[in-house]
Structure 1
Amino acid sequence: MTRRLFLLMFVCLQFFIAGAQNIRIQGKVLDENGEPLIGATVMLKNASDLSTAGTITDINGSFNLNLPADGTLVVTFIGYRKQEIPINGQTSFTINMQADVSELDDIVVVGFGVQKKETVVGSITQAKGEELLKTGGVTSVSEALTGLLPGVVTLQNSSQPGDASTDILIRGKSSWNGNAPLVLVDGIERPYDQVDPNEIQSLSVLKDASATAVFGVRGANGVILITTKRGTESKPKISFNANVTAKQMTSDYTIPTHAQSMQMYNEALINGNSYSGMYSEQEIAMWQNQVDPYFYPEIDWEKELLKDLGWSQTANLNVSGGNKFMKYFTSVGYTHEGDIFKTEKQAEYDPRFNFNKYNLRSNFDFSVTNTTKLSVNLGGIISKQTRPGGVGASANDYSKNEFFRRIYSTPNHLYPLYYENGQFGEDPSFQNAKNMYIRLNKEGSNIINQANVFVDFKLDQKLDFITKGLSFKGSVSYTNKAQSSRKINKTIDRYFYASSEDYENNVFLRWPTMDTYEEPISYANEEMGTYNRQLYYDASLNYNRDFGKHSVSALLLTLREETKSKVQFPDRYMSHVARATYAYNARYLLEFNGSISGINWFHPDYNTEDFYSGAIGWIISEENFIKDNLPFIDKMKVRYSWGESGSYDGFRSLKFNWDIQPETFNVNGNRILYFGDPVNPVNQFYVTSGASNKFAFWEIAIKQNIGVELDMFRKLSLTFDFYKEQREGILSEQLMPTWAGIDGKIISNLGESKTQGFELEATWRNKTRSGLNYWITGIFAYTENRVVKRGDPDGMPEYQKYAGKPIGTVNALLTDGFYGSWDDLYNRPQSEWSGNRIPGDLAYLDYNADGVINDRDRVPMKYQSTPNLTSSLQLGIEYKGFHLTAMLTATNGMYRNMPGTMLWEFQNGNTMTFNHSLNRWTPETAETAEHPALHLQGDNKHNMQTSQFTYRDASYIRLRNAEFGYTLPKKTAQKLLGMTKCELYLSGNNLLTFTDFDNRIDPEQGTTNLYPIVRRFNAGVRIGF
């Protein structure tokens, strides 16, 4: 009996030893299509160290390990569901991973932290960095946001290389001051538009008070949080992205021939009862027949000044990886933006609109101990921008707005671009119509150099030894921005024929006449245009812990930011922040946020404020009555928030109660100081610009939001938000009565407004058995606002007051077609504006019925410069390595006031007309005319008033971007090219636009004062090693 018992124990021991022994296992990790997953993590469950109990799959997706025969394999890869596989003595594995499209959305970046998506009760939307890279070759973050997220409205103003600008609005306008959101890069307020999109991991948009209250006086206009990429514990991964872009203007500019314009000029003279200065039939015929291109020029300025295509290039190389001690992400980027104008590099200077930029970023994470993590971010942006010498660098130059406007408003007949001997033409009698080719190429250049550098240090210390879930975080950041400018001046002689006699005798006249030779170049001193330093530091205690069915978290944070420009007094911002969240049984959610923040822009007694918010949420899909009765619902959550935040955007600092400015008045001026006898010579003295108001402070926004999130069928996702906002204390300038003894205006918090709207986002995502993966996302957003109070004068007619009207409402004249006849004209009220009214002129309505058309007949119009309705449609298809994506965007309710230089003929004494002039009113075209009868500029004041006629609907539908590409199979890329990824693509931006707006101007831009908007065509590659 004893021997049998001993034998049984011996056999059991052998089984135990065999089970505890390690065995050699091998296998492959594959994706859904059977392609190897390179860099997947395979390790023993509950192992503490990847280096001893795990590995990373190689280029074939293979792995080899020595693990206990009774252990469990854990396989993970970003974007795929984690798998746990018992070994059970098996030595060979083939592991097929399943994509988890929701995994990357599980964590949402919020103010001063992150939260699980399922527990977020604020209105927050988030985009991945990869989405910003598939926007058709745009180089700025703001432009890449267009149409991507609900509630975010972008309006591009310019495509000038290095100076492109896009306005961002979150949920429309709530103030007539600034409405720009706060944008933070890794928690620090920095210039964001020049951040390389290849560096961005995610971008979060915070919209309601629950999400923005922690930002205090800076959160009312919404907050955008940009999070850059960081390294992971893996072998080095190298990515290289590059593209080449061809670009051209989105608008189309053509005008009638000069012969047509001469005929219309004669018509305008007759309409004004004048026959002096009319063109003869012989003169018209000379231009019509193009007898001589130098004395009878006909210049196509679009052809002469614009290239068929401009060119740009971008490239980025980044490396990431790490081990248990250190993780790293390093990125180097280069951007070159070329010109669409025919500017050419000269021997002594470069006048081209060019922009060259270098981006550098390195993010390091050090695990100093098991409880201590140190992060260091280093980076910088160095750029050089060039532009023609005549663009706004000195008092003698055109302003930037004037420069571009003149490109569109220069007549085509005054002089040739250049004569047969190469001399450039220009007529000094038309100072408002200069040869713009000379301005682009022959008058020097402006050079702007800029360098932005930064360094961040962040410490994360776990304090579990005090209580589990407690940690301390602190950070210090320094940012330095320097900008210098240099101007190279150059002038050349211009020539013209003053008369037909000069032309016949081939006598050129040079002007300016005092010039006897071409002036050499001269250099203006290099000036430090901007020098800005920013110091930021914060410290916080964080707590996050679960107690059974109860989950709690808390944050206490204090921060301070100081910004100093040149030798000015610094701006200082400070804030103390608190947040607490509670969740019961993963279904009932509660959150509280608060901050005490302030900035030294205001009087010390009124420069801080308390802001609070609260939010509740209910994950209904976790209730049994949903699970049992509606099993197709994957997730359903309702949430509500209320709270306050502030804004001082768009207004100047009031840190000094009195703005003291130097003034000088001479004896012949309007004002002069007398102290007994007149001062001679007059000396400089000082005056105050207005009255002080120590009670002024920032605007306060009171917001409410209710939202619903719904996922169904594992394919459909819906999000709906309805919001309201009451904006109080809007800063406004108020005129002071003369009896107050104050000359000027006082700044007061006298304004109020209200805003409301809704947002809807729906996504359908599916993958068929054949491997076809497709998705479609629709976004629809509507917003409206009203002025509640804005200090309207008591004597102003009620219908002209701001109160009750949308922000930015324009008062304009109502039109009732054209005067159809002399009887019609005389039977209507007379116009107050001088000019010779005739049949065919605009007929205005006498709104106040006083018998006169004047300024009191201007009434509020619906014309808004920003759309109240925006929508987008995003489509995507992937199949066997091919992919196709596209985005359509649409706006409605946006109007533009047509620039006078593009609407009215014969400006500045010339004979320039437009295509719409051909459809003018005449007795023969009275039934079909769309444009008033012709007048010379000085005789057209009646028609030129701001009215329904001058405003045009600028709503549009646009194919914003599209991309078609092919990704080589991983095995093929590795075998043939030694790469882990090789993707080739073609893409475009602003490809098609459908609008009723004037085709000479991009409807999104709405002006000729800035560099034109461009469409882009790209070819690029994305590769990995």
Structure 2
Amino acid sequence: MKKLEGIKSWSLNIFTLKLKTKISAFFVLVIAFGVQAETYSTTENFKTNNTEKKLQQTEVTGVVLDQNNVPLPGANILEKGTTNGVQTDFDGNFTINLNNSNGILVVSYIGYKSQEISLNGKTQINITLEEDTAKLDEVVVVGYGTQTKKDLTGSVSAVKGEKLVKAPTANLASNLSGKMTGVFVNTATGQPGAEDINFAIRGTSTTGNNAPLVIVDGIVRPFARLDPNDIESVTVLKDAASTAVYGARAANGVLLVTTKRGNSNKPSFNFESSFGYQSQIRQIELMNAGEYARYINEAKNNYGLNPIFTDAEVAQYESGELPSYDWLGATLGNSAPLSKHSISASGGREGIRYFLSYGLLNQEGFYSTANYRQHNLRSNIDVELSNNLDLRLDISGRIEDRSDSSTNLNSIYQGALIGKPYLNPRLDEEVGPGAIATNGLGGSPIGHAERSGTNERLSNIIQSNISLNYKIPGVDGLVASALYSYDLTFNKNKIFKKPFIQYEYNGATDGYDQIIGGPSTISLAESRDLNDQQTLQLSLRYDRLFGKHKIGALALFEQIESSQNSLDAFRDNFISTAIPELFAGGTDLWSNDGVTIETARRGYIGRIEYDYDSRYLFQANMRIDQSFNFPNSGRTGVFPAFSLGWRLSEEAFMDNVDFMDNIKIRGSWGQVGNDRVPAYQFLSLFGFNGGYVADGAFQQGISSSGIANPNITWETATTLDLGLEFDMLDHRLGFEFDYFKKRTEDILRPNTDVVPGSFGASLPDVNYGIVDSWGGEALIRYKQRIGDFNFSVDANASWFKNKAIQLAEAEGVLPSIAQTGRELSLRTGYLSDGLFQTQDEIDNAAIQFSQSIHDGLAPGDIKYKDINGRDGDGNLTGQPDGVINADDRAIIGSSGAPNMLFGLNLFMEYKGFDLTANFQGATDFSRYVYSIPFERDGNSFREFVDSWRPGNEDAKYPRLSSGDASANNSQTSDFWVKEVTYCKLRNLEFGYNFNHISSVLEQLGIENLRVYGSATNILTLSNLGWRDPEGPSGLRPFYPQTKTLTFGVNVGF
């Protein structure tokens, strides 16, 4: 049934003109006004200069550079003891008129040590600033702007882009693991091109969408597929004071990504190339043929069934006289290549700067049809149109080319896992070259992986920003800005399915019969998606220093609209695989479909900042949002936030505490929203569903698919955050701590009321849920340079808890499994009490599930706890009743994200050699590890060797069964739930920089040359054995995570 989702009977009343039309007119007016205003400004400056000359002031000119002679635009030049000051231009130049020719200039720039320059009558000076290793003046990207680290009053974590390229993985998101407090990144699969990455900031705080908002260069965009070499920094905003400016979608935190820009220096080029191999992060241990033969016979015997193998055959397989085969290795292979290449150019001249880059990623899969290729192209250009008007033009493109088998990956993997190990998966000798066998259960996982057709997905993405920044003459520090962004994504998907030839062993003839595998017919499904997003931002920004008083303000308007258009078609019964195009398919079974969805959001943002002498800090933010997801009555949300900071280290009473460089206490309170809920729930939706016959002909029918909820509104999160930061020992040792408490209200939850099926529609979701969450974060870092040896280490830990205060639950829910008052994402099931050891124990135990199941119990089966019963009136008693049934269910674990995270990052450097290590781990979470031994009489995990049998009564697992014959042991229970703790060595990189032979490199025109070797995910310490602790729970097979070994070179010239 298709919903009529393109309904336009409602409106935000914000699109009186199309965005493109408004933007074009706006930018023409701004540029024209900027040129005109610059002319006016020049004239006024000329008049002012004449007046100043009459007053006999002294004009001083100069340039401000860094230690590499790179100009520093925007550096502050202040005449000491006055409010007379200017900033350097695009190329680091400045001109200032002084009242005293022997005065003192105070020169400062964020991230560099300030200098005081005594003029002594000089009128032209060159100033070189040194980088400030204290990092207190380090610029940190925040919502719609930047701040220095020392002035931050919110909870923010940041990592430089240079640290992300230390791990050449295929998915950039995984590189964040362990590098920042409060950030959990779960990579559930290593499949080429997969987007199966789960982000969580500060744990789980809602039953709805828990993903953070991702902003790239000021625009909502995906993150995982960016080229790491293009990234300048990644910042995570965690508390409401930091995220409130993003209002509508910031309840789960915000991830800010900033890409690199050019500088006003000579052109520089950087080339990096790496090659490596991937293998499975954990090798799954399956039974070999000897183990399989022995233990499947045991499983059959446990249930009175005939054995599959004779004792002689078991002995032959165990001795190796008869061969054993590895179906998993034959299907997936042992390794796959991975390569990455990138080249970039940056530089500029007077009035223009640029950063250009191209990147190529090629990732092969573990079977021949699985591969992924990605091209990244970026151009970031800054142009100084006049002294007061700057323009930025950013254009980036990406091509994502995925190829895979037409068969579902899980089916391929499952078929390989249960392949009977006494059968040969490849029959080159038995049948002929290229022949493949079934796994003994009717299908060949090799055939499904390599010969059942292809699933080809191509994505073309173009992203663009254009922005203008205008310094308004006559009002120092006032800047008007405008930004327009247009992103376009085109997706093409083509799934061509076809049968293949396979061979099945015939025991009667001791030969192989040819059969058809895969789909029974040849079919083709194609789809096209065209998605665009437009963003408009208009802002006024004011920043000014009055002596010791620093004032900042922001007023910003933002409007976002997007559209999604899709079309798909299907045909079956192709007569040949030669032409995989729709026109060649049959006409007796076909379909086509299409849908258009439009969305819109609007926001008004305000911010006020004040600090006194960089000692007392204050910030207030507010965002008013409107979202298409809600009706007029609930469309507008207001999200305020306030934060305070006190730098005790700037107080007079700290002057004599020499070892303490910085102490800051900060606190914040605020509210943010979440509108990421299913759209149009405030409307009565209809869909095409079946039809009826009238006048002898079938007529298309339309019916209601859901009842409207006209009161649906925002999910709102209110957060309190307290933080402490200090630096000591000349900034070598630093510490940060945060404690937060958060309440999320009006969570959208399914309506638990029940209506009869004859009602014809489902009830709408309602804003009912309330969840509390709280936790803490700690970071400690130390760095030291001893001669040629330089090292740094930082360790971080985060812990989270949550509690459902109010949730809509079904009437009559068991108190033992009710969610209200407990942690979110809990798993329910039965409580186990070990394994039965004797028949007498079974005879005296509660009836488990049913009399027939109980009668089939034997020593070695799981024993369950009888914790509840009912009286004669059907009321729960909380006492055993001699029967194990649904009333005995309880909480048996959590299926959510870990409640505790930790990370450790090491860096060492000595005479050109460098070593980087990144560890990440988690604890306080659980995984459900049940799997079926000998499913459909197929192979099983080797761990089931340790199953109960006479002589092995202390076994890890219950007695063996075949094909899930045990309805008792397969019940969901805490027997199969494992509390998990793990630590992974995410990345280890060793490199050598040849810069110490710079004279040789200079002759070759090379400024920098580094070679390195890198390994990712090479070590996992876990209590789950061979299982990946980040993999999915339960029975679902999955493409394994990968570990990689890579060698690369980086050249700068």
Normalising by the smaller structure, the TM-score range is 0.7 to 0.9
Matched with 2:513 is 509
The yes-or-no answer on 1:470 pairing with 2:478 is yes
Q: Kindly report which structure 2 residues correspond to 1:81-96, keeping only aligned pairs within 5 A, or say none.
A: 81=113
Matched with 2:570 is none
Select 1:301's aligned residue among 314, 327, 330: 327
The yes-or-no answer on 1:113 pairing with 2:145 is yes
Matched with 1:17 is none
Q: Show CA shifts across 1:879-919 (max 9, x none).
A: 21211111111210121112x5xx221212x1423322211
Matched with 1:563 is 562
- Counterpart of 1:142 in structure 2: which amino acid? A
- Secondary structure of the structure 1 residue equivalent to 2:974: coil
Contact 1:736-1:744 at 8 Å conserved across structures: no
How many residues align? The count is 930
Select 1:588's aligned residue among 616, 628, 637: 616
Cα distance, 1:510 vs. partner? 1.8
Q: Kindly report which structure 2 residues correspond to 1:380-779, keeping only aligned pairs within 5 A, or say none.
A: 380-390=397-407, 398=408, 400-414=409-423, 416-420=425-429, 421-422=432-433, 424-427=435-438, 430-431=441-442, 434-465=443-474, 467-500=475-508, 502-503=509-510, 508-512=512-516, 524=524, 526-528=526-528, 530-566=529-565, 567-628=595-656, 630-649=657-676, 651-654=677-680, 657-664=683-690, 684-714=700-730, 715-738=732-755, 741=759, 743-768=761-786, 770-779=787-796
CA distance in 2, matches of 1:973, 1:856: 79
CA distance in 2, matches of 1:338, 1:933: 41
Cα distance, 1:179 vs. partner? 0.7
The yes-or-no answer on 1:362 pairing with 2:394 is no
Contact 1:863-1:893 at 8 Å conserved across structures: no
CA distance in 2, matches of 1:52, 1:767: 31
Cα distance, 1:201 vs. partner? 0.9
Residues 50/674 of structure 1: CA separation in 2 closer, same or farther (3 Å cut): closer
Residues 181/47 of structure 1: CA separation in 2 closer, same or farther (3 Å cut): closer
Q: Kindly report which structure 2 residues correspond to 1:269-308, keeping only aligned pairs within 5 A, or say none.
A: 269-272=300-303, 274-276=304-306, 278-285=308-315, 287-288=317-318, 298-308=324-334
Matched with 1:337 is 363
Q: Kindly report which structure 2 residues correspond to 1:973-992, keeping only aligned pairs within 5 A, or say none.
A: 974-992=1001-1019
Matched with 2:957 is 931
CA distance in 2, matches of 1:264, 1:998: 21
Contact 1:299-1:417 at 8 Å conserved across structures: no
Contact 1:664-1:682 at 8 Å conserved across structures: no
Matched with 2:984 is 958
Residues 30/662 of structure 1: CA separation in 2 closer, same or farther (3 Å cut): closer
Contact 2:136-2:150 at 8 Å conserved across structures: no
Residues 401/697 of structure 1: CA separation in 2 closer, same or farther (3 Å cut): farther
Residues 221/572 of structure 1: CA separation in 2 closer, same or farther (3 Å cut): same
Cα distance, 1:413 vs. partner? 3.4
- Counterpart of 1:210 in structure 2: which amino acid? A
Relative to structure 2, which stretch is displaced further, 321-330 or 720-729? Answer: 321-330
CA distance in 1, matches of 2:412, 2:92: 67
Q: Kindly report which structure 2 residues correspond to 1:217-228, keeping only aligned pairs within 5 A, or say none.
A: 217-228=248-259
Contact 2:737-2:779 at 8 Å conserved across structures: yes
- Counterpart of 2:985 in structure 1: which amino acid? L
Residues 656/693 of structure 1: CA separation in 2 closer, same or farther (3 Å cut): closer
CA distance in 1, matches of 2:269, 2:230: 13
- Secondary structure of the structure 2 residue equivalent to 1:138: coil
Matched with 2:234 is 203
Q: Show CA shifts across 1:364-418 (max 9, x none).
A: 111111111111111110121111232xxxxxxx3x4333333323332355422
- Counterpart of 1:559 in structure 2: which amino acid? E
Matched with 1:132 is 164
Contact 1:415-1:496 at 8 Å conserved across structures: no
Cα distance, 1:178 vs. partner? 1.2
- Secondary structure of the structure 1 residue equivalent to 2:132: coil
The yes-or-no answer on 1:879 pairing with 2:910 is yes
Cα distance, 1:840 vs. partner? 0.8
Residues 362/401 of structure 1: CA separation in 2 closer, same or farther (3 Å cut): same
Matched with 2:800 is 783
CA distance in 2, matches of 1:224, 1:30: 30
What percent identity do the matched residue pairs reach?
28
- Secondary structure of the structure 2 residue equivalent to 1:580: strand
Contact 1:377-1:457 at 8 Å conserved across structures: yes
Unaligned stretches of 5+ residues in structure 2:
1-57, 78-85, 95-100, 566-594, 869-879
Cα distance, 1:1015 vs. partner? 0.6
- Secondary structure of the structure 2 residue equivalent to 1:944: coil
Select 1:214's aligned residue among 236, 245, 249: 245
- Secondary structure of the structure 1 residue equivalent to 2:267: strand
Contact 1:158-1:1010 at 8 Å conserved across structures: yes
- Secondary structure of the structure 1 residue equivalent to 2:637: strand
- What is the alpha-carbon root mean square deviation over aligned residues? 3.5
CA distance in 1, matches of 2:1028, 2:76: 63
- Counterpart of 1:659 in structure 2: which amino acid? L
Cα distance, 1:611 vs. partner? 0.9
Residues 990/44 of structure 1: CA separation in 2 closer, same or farther (3 Å cut): closer
Contact 1:955-1:1003 at 8 Å conserved across structures: no
Cα distance, 1:793 vs. partner? 2.7
Select 1:242's aligned residue among 270, 273, 291: 273
- Secondary structure of the structure 1 residue equivalent to 2:764: strand
- Secondary structure of the structure 2 residue equivalent to 1:211: helix
CA distance in 1, matches of 2:523, 2:308: 47
Residues 413/685 of structure 1: CA separation in 2 closer, same or farther (3 Å cut): farther
Matched with 1:943 is 969
- Secondary structure of the structure 2 residue equivalent to 1:214: helix
Matched with 2:215 is 184
Contact 1:878-1:884 at 8 Å conserved across structures: yes
TM-score where L is the length of structure 2: 0.82
CA distance in 1, matches of 2:467, 2:1043: 41
- Secondary structure of the structure 2 residue equivalent to 1:299: coil
Residues 686/602 of structure 1: CA separation in 2 closer, same or farther (3 Å cut): same
Cα distance, 1:245 vs. partner? 1.9
Contact 1:958-1:990 at 8 Å conserved across structures: yes
CA distance in 1, matches of 2:958, 2:92: 85
- Counterpart of 1:872 in structure 2: which amino acid? G
Q: Show CA shifts across 1:809-828 (max 9, x none).
A: 11121111101111111211
Q: Show CA shifts across 1:408-448 (max 9, x none).
A: 233323554225223634459824xx211111222222221
CA distance in 2, matches of 1:262, 1:680: 62
Cα distance, 1:173 vs. partner? 0.6
Residues 429/764 of structure 1: CA separation in 2 closer, same or farther (3 Å cut): closer
Cα distance, 1:963 vs. partner? 1.2
Residues 122/808 of structure 1: CA separation in 2 closer, same or farther (3 Å cut): same
Relative to structure 2, which stretch is displaced further, 139-148 or 415-424? Answer: 415-424
Q: Show CA shifts across 1:149-178 (max 9, x none).
A: 101111111111111432110000101221
Unaligned stretches of 5+ residues in structure 1:
1-19, 32-36, 55-68, 344-350, 391-397, 666-672
CA distance in 2, matches of 1:818, 1:826: 14
- Secondary structure of the structure 2 residue equivalent to 1:601: coil
Q: Show CA shifts across 1:89-136 (max 9, x none).
A: 99xx999986533459622211111122222111111111111111x2
Residues 361/52 of structure 1: CA separation in 2 closer, same or farther (3 Å cut): closer
CA distance in 1, matches of 2:751, 2:89: 68
Residues 375/588 of structure 1: CA separation in 2 closer, same or farther (3 Å cut): same
Cα distance, 1:73 vs. partner? 12
The yes-or-no answer on 1:895 pairing with 2:926 is yes
